[in-house]
C-alpha cells in the first residue's frame, strides 16, 4: 500500500533543484559573507544575488529583503521589533490590531506585547473572508502602532482582502504586516501594487530548505532588532548569514512563483478531492467554501467523530494529513481559527486539513478519496 502525503501546508518536500543548489553552495561558498577575502566576497556575492532575485519575484527593492530563519522569526521580528522601537521612543499607549484567525506566531507575539502593557484588538472574520476593519476615523487616529493581517489562512486556505486592507491602512497612515507564508507561490503577490510595510515568508512552504525565510521591511516604518551582535541584514538580524539557506530559499521561491499553470493544476486537484469526498462521506462540511481560497488547502469538518482520532487513524493507513496548523499538533481542542469563523458550530465536527503541493499527483488524490471514506466509516462504527 503506497503512502500519500497531503500535508504540504505544514511543510512541502524540498525540491530536487533546491537540494542540488544548497549542496553546491555548502561545498563552494564556505566563507563568511562578512569576510574581506576571496572566500568572503564569493559568499557575499551569492547572498546579494539571492536578495536581488527575491526582490524581483516580489516586485520590490532589494534593500527591503532581510533573510531570517523562517516564518516565525519573520513575524516575531516585525511585530515585537515594532513594539520595541515604540517603547524606546516612549510612545504610549501601544495599540496593535490583528484578525481573529491569525497564525499562532502572530497571536502569541501580540499576547507577549499585551502582557507588557500593549493593547490588542482582534478583528472578526467571516467564512467568506470579510474582515471587520475599524472605521476610517479610528484608523486615522494615530494610535495604532501596527496591524497584522494574513493573506491566506493556514488552516482553511481562506484568502483575506489584503489589497483592500493595505490601501485603507496606507491612506490612514497605519503600518501593515502581512503573513504571506501560505500565499507566496500559491496566489499572485506583488508589492508594487499592494502597499505593505512588512511581509513574512517561509522557505519550507515553497520547497525550499527548512529554517529559511524572509522579512520584507518598509523604508518608512521603524523597527528594532530582536537579536544583538553584528550588523548583518541591515543591522536588523545580526549573525553570520546562512548563504546556502538563502540561495536555496530563493530558488524555491522562484520555482513556486514561476510555475505556469500550477495554481490551476492544484485548484483542479482540490476540487476533485472535495467533490469525491463530499459524495462519499455523509454530512461532510467544507470550511470557507463560500469565500475565495488558495488552491492548495481543503479543510473538512467530519461529523460524528472525536477530534483526536482521525489524523492518527489515517496515519496508520499511510495517509498524512493534519487537523489544522502544524503548530497545534497534538491538540484535542477545537481550533481557534474554526471557532472564530463558525462559533460553537465548529464543535460539532472533527477537522481534517488536506493540503496539496508541487509533488502531489492526480493518482495520489484519487487514491486518497478512495481510501479515506472507508476509514471514517470504520471509526464511526466503533465509537
Catalytically active residues are 327
Spell out the alpha helix ranges (H) of the chain: 16-28, 38-58, 71-88, 104-115, 136-139, 162-172, 243-257, 262-280, 310-316, 336-342, 362-382
Can you give the three-state secondary structure of 306-373, one letter per residue?
CCCCHHHHHHHCCEECECCCHHHCCCCCCCHHHHHHHHHHHHHEEEEEEECCCCCCHHHHHHHHHHHH
* Length of the chain measured in residues: 383
Terminal Cα distance for the chain, rounded: 26
Grid coordinates given for 23? 549542496
- Please report, for residues 125, 130, 156, 158, 302, the alpha-carbon distance to residue 291 in angstroms, rounded to integers and kept in the order given: 11, 9, 10, 6, 20
Of 153, 186, 183, 131, the C-alpha closest to 338 is 153
Q: Whole-angstrom Cα distance, residue 302 to residue 262?
A: 28
Of 34, 84, 72, the C-alpha closest to 231 is 34
Q: Whole-angstrom Cα distance, residue 25 to residue 245?
A: 9
Q: Residues 292, 158: contact at Cβ < 8 Å?
A: yes
The residues, any chain, with a CB within 8 Å of residue 278's CB and separated by 6 or more, are 284, 286
**Residues pairing with 123 in the sheet:** 99
Q: Whole-angstrom Cα distance, residue 39 to residue 32?
A: 7
Grid coordinates given for 309? 482520532
Amino acid at each position: 500500500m503506497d503512502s500519500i502525503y497531503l500535508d504540504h501546508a505544514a511543510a512541502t518536500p524540498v525540491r530536487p533543484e533546491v537540494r542540488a543548489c544548497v549542496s553546491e553552495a555548502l561545498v563552494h561558498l564556505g566563507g563568511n559573507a562578512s569576510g574581506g577575502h576571496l572566500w568572503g566576497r564569493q559568499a557575499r556575492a551569492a547572498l546579494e544575488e539571492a536578495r536581488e532575485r527575491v526582490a524581483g519575484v516580489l516586485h520590490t527593492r532589494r534593500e527591503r529583503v532581510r533573510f531570517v530563519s523562517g516564518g516565525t522569526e519573520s513575524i516575531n521580528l516585525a511585530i515585537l521589533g515594532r513594539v520595541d522601537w515604540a517603547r524606546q521612543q516612549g510612545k504610549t499607549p501601544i495599540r496593535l490590531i490583528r484578525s481573529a484567525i491569525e497564525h499562532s506566531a502572530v497571536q502569541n507575539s501580540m499576547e507577549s506585547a499585551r502582557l507588557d502593557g500593549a493593547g490588542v484588538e482582534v478583528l472578526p472574520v467571516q467564512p467568506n473572508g470579510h474582515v471587520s476593519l475599524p472605521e476610517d476615523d479610528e484608523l486615522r487616529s494615530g494610535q495604532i502602532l501596527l496591524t497584522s493581517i494574513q493573506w491566506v489562512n493556514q488552516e482553511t486556505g481562506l484568502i483575506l482582502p489584503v489589497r483592500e486592507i493595505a490601501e485603507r491602512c496606507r491612506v490612514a497612515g497605519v503600518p501593515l504586516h502581512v503573513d504571506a507564508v501560505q500565499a507566496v507561490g500559491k496566489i499572485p503577490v506583488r508589492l508594487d501594487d499592494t502597499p505593505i510595510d512588512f511581509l513574512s515568508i517561509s522557505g519550507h512552504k515553497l520547497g525550499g530548505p527548512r529554517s529559511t525565510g524572509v522579512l520584507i521591511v518598509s523604508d518608512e516604518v521603524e523597527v528594532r532588532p530582536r537579536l544583538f551582535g553584528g550588523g548583518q541584514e541591515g543591522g536588523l538580524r545580526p549573525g553570520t548569514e546562512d548563504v546556502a539557506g538563502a540561495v536555496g530559499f530563493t530558488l524555491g521561491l522562484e520555482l513556486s512563483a514561476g510555475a505556469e499553470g500550477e495554481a490551476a493544476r492544484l485548484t483542479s486537484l482540490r476540487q476533485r478531492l472535495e467533490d469525491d469526498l463530499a459524495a462519499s462521506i455523509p454530512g461532510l462540511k467544507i470550511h470557507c467554501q463560500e469565500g475565495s481560497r488558495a488552491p492548495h488547502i481543503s479543510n473538512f469538518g467530519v461529523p460524528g467523530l472525536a477530534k483526536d482520532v482521525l489524523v492518527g487513524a489515517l496515519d496508520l493507513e499511510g495517509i498524512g494529513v493534519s487537523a489544522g496548523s502544524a503548530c497545534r499538533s497534538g491538540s484535542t481542542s477545537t481550533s481557534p481559527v474554526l471557532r472564530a469563523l463558525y462559533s460553537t458550530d465548529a464543535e460539532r465536527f472533527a477537522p481534517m486539513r488536506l493540503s496539496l503541493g508541487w509533488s502531489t499527483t492526480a493518482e495520489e488524490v484519487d487514491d486518497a478519496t478512495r481510501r479515506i471514506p472507508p476509514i471514517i466509516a470504520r471509526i464511526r462504527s466503533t465509537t
